[in-house]
Amino acid sequence: MQNINTYIYSRIDTLEEAIKEAWKRKFYQEHWGHKSLDDVINIVRSYKYHTLPVTRKHDLRDNWDNIMCFDGAIDVVSSSGTTGRPVDIPVHKEEENVRVEAIERWLHALGVNTGDKVLILLSMNDLFTLGVLSWQAVKKRNACAIRCSVNRVDRILQIIEHLKPKYVIGNAGPMIRLAEEAGDRWPGHDLLPKKALLGASAVFDQDLNPTPALKKLKELWGFDDYLNTYGSSEIGAVSDECSYHQGLHIHTDHQMIELIDLKNGLPLEDNNQPGELVITGLNLPRGFIPIRYATGDIVAWIKHESCPCGQITPRMGPIIGRVDHQLKISGQTVFPDLLLSLADESTGVMRSAVQVKSEKYGEDEVTLLLVIDDNFNKKEVKNNVISRLDKNLSISPKVNVISSINLLTLEKKASKNTNQVKIPRIFDFRKGI
């Protein structure tokens, strides 16, 4: 397997250009801790790029004036704010062109072409980026973009009936909720879009199996094919799902990626192991130049071997958690995403979430919340989930059954200070968080 350092240093000339531009911003001069740009370039040429400290979202918030550049900016986008106050990012014209082109690749891979009608169920407001980029990319392909808020059930039903879109772009969670809220009015599969482009959440697990959310989405929407994408407001599109569903192919012409160890922060020797995704942006100019930007997302793996689909770019696995979502139960580290996965895969569980509060002596009080289908025995379903937790974890959290209405109340409370693009599934009520 190709070593990640070999992959990074194959782009060293482009990397040096990005570093030279980043050096012009006061933050990086102080953050890197070197006296001159030449010192930093020498570090890169000495195969020690990994010794430059990573940059994190809190660095962007705390040093905003010294890291962002508005000269030439034509748009502002924002992080989702699901793990703290959103960060606003200026986007330059050339940078936006790159971002749109990356989304256009995604559309092309699923066959979007001239005259096709595409229903876009992603937010066009509140500085969210994927919806706006998708809207532009659809039009670049000479297809017809149909924009509608995923919360407008009646309007969407009208669009499906009268305009008959062939494609839909959206987030699996809100799309599931849309179909469930429509109830008996939800159209049959023959009337729904035939293909789906899915963003903002993973649709396969580390073994490339469909997630419970994807299975439910396909059951409700009945589409023939789909593709997932991964990216962030800070970076833009990072990778698109392989047409053979063998992972997410990385846009290596736009950025370089690393996986770092969750404990020591060093590059992983074995990229078949989970690690935190670190990204360096290569295209210039841009409002924020990400140099070793630690996303906080934990990626299952990166593969460099050839892919059955014919593409030669590396593939990354799904996001399986976040470094800032690590919880402590009786001294043991537990990732909420694992709890949610075990719950979602259990028969009778309609929805699940994780609630975290502070215990008296500094531990996390973790509760797995379950919404159980009325057609199932709630006690039996709960006990089955508890059994699955006990088999997969050395220490298990509490498990409570909750009504769908009460879960919706928690979701609204948790998303109050975000741009409400994603449905929150982790409710962190610890003091100081």
Q: pLDDT tens digit string along 317-355?
A: 998 888 877 676 766 667 787 888 889 889 999 889 998
Q: pLDDT at position 81, please? A: 52
Q: Which CATH number fits domain 326-428: 3.30.300.30, 3.90.79.10, 3.40.50.150, 3.40.50.300?
A: 3.30.300.30
321: left (phi over 0), alpha (psi -120 to 50) or beta: left
Confidence of residue 423 (pLDDT cuts 50, 70, 90): confident
Q: pLDDT tens digit string along 73-84?
A: 999 998 755 445
Q: pLDDT at position 363, please? A: 64
Amino acid at 183: G
Tokens of 399: 């498990």
Confidence of residue 250 (pLDDT cuts 50, 70, 90): very high
| Distances from the Cα of 296 to the Cα of 58, 292, 370, angstroms | 11, 12, 26
Confidence of residue 2 (pLDDT cuts 50, 70, 90): very low
Asked whether residue 18 carries a pLDDT value surpassing 60, the answer given is: yes
Confidence of residue 415 (pLDDT cuts 50, 70, 90): low
**Longest alpha-carbon distance in the chain:** 68
Asked whether residue 32 carries a pLDDT value surpassing 90, the answer given is: yes
Q: pLDDT at position 93, please? A: 95
Q: pLDDT at position 1, please? A: 37
What's the rounded Cα separation, in Å, for the pair 26 and 12? 23
Q: pLDDT at position 271, please? A: 86
Confidence of residue 364 (pLDDT cuts 50, 70, 90): confident
Amino acid at 244: Y
Task: List the one residue out of 426, 399, 397, 433 whose CA is nearest residue 410.
Answer: 426
What's the rounded Cα separation, in Å, for the pair 270 and 398? 34
Q: pLDDT tens digit string along 36-72?
A: 999 999 999 998 999 999 999 999 999 999 999 999 9
Which DSSP helix (H) or strand (E) runs through 90? strand 88-92
Residue 277 backbone dihedrals phi, psi, to 5 degrees: -80, 125
Q: Is the dihedral of CA 21, 26, 30, 34 positive or negative?
A: positive
Domain 1-323: CATH superfamily, name plus number: ANL, N-terminal domain (3.40.50.12780)
Q: pLDDT at position 244, please? A: 94
More reliable by pLDDT, 2 or 54: 54
Asked whether 63 and 27 are in contact (CB, 8 A), the reply is yes
Asked whether 130 and 200 are in contact (CB, 8 A), the reply is yes
- Mean pLDDT, residues 210-231 taken together: 93
Q: pLDDT at position 334, please? A: 76
Asked whether 1 and 306 are in contact (CB, 8 A), the reply is no
For 338-343, which contacts have Cβ atoms below 8 Å and span 24 or more sequence positions?
A: 338/392, 338/393, 339/366, 339/368, 339/389, 339/397, 340/368, 340/425, 341/205, 341/211, 341/212, 342/385, 342/388, 342/389, 342/392, 343/368, 343/370, 343/385, 343/388
What's the rounded Cα separation, in Å, for the pair 201 and 226? 13
- Mean pLDDT, residues 227-239 taken together: 94
More reliable by pLDDT, 233 or 332: 233
Domain ranges within the chain, ordered by starting residue = 1-323, 326-428
Q: pLDDT tens digit string along 261-313?
A: 988 999 998 888 899 999 999 999 999 999 999 999 999 999 988 899 999 89
The torsion of the CA quartet 328, 329, 332, 334, rounded to 10 degrees, works out to -70
Q: pLDDT at position 433, please? A: 47
Q: pLDDT tens digit string along 136-195?
A: 999 999 999 999 999 899 999 999 999 999 999 999 888 988 999 999 999 999 999 999
- Mean pLDDT, residues 227-232 taken together: 94
In sequence order, the 6+-apart residues with CB closer than 8 A to the CB of 250 are 238, 239, 257, 302, 313, 314, 315, 316
What's the rounded Cα separation, in Å, for the pair 147 and 357? 39
